[in-house]
Amino acid sequence: SYTAAFTGLGTFETCGIASFDTRMAGYSGTCGALTLIQCNDDTTGCAGLTSRISFVVQGGATYLIRVAGFSSATGTF
């Protein structure tokens, strides 16, 4: 989870960090009532089939960021 320290554009990425083919998704809300904000699989400008998502965050709000492996890929990030 990520609690925004500011209001503005938040960017989350595995670009240059992950050792595997990643997929990412950002959610708002609480468990049982999550809303998908944005998702990505293989962003442009990043090597290794990694991911990046960007969306407007509200200061003080908590967001859930999911990192998964494409086709069950695993590794570190």
Secondary structure class of 52 (helix, strand, coil): strand
- pLDDT grade, residue 47 (50/70/90)? confident
| pLDDT recorded at residue 37 | 97
The answer to whether 68 and 22 have CB atoms below 8 angstroms apart is yes
Residue with tokens 């960017």: 11
The pLDDT of 34-61, averaged and rounded, is 93
Q: Comparing C-alpha atoms, which of 64, 74, 9 is closest to residue 39?
A: 64
Token duo for residue 48: 């290794």
| pLDDT recorded at residue 73 | 87
pTM recorded for the entire structure: 0.86
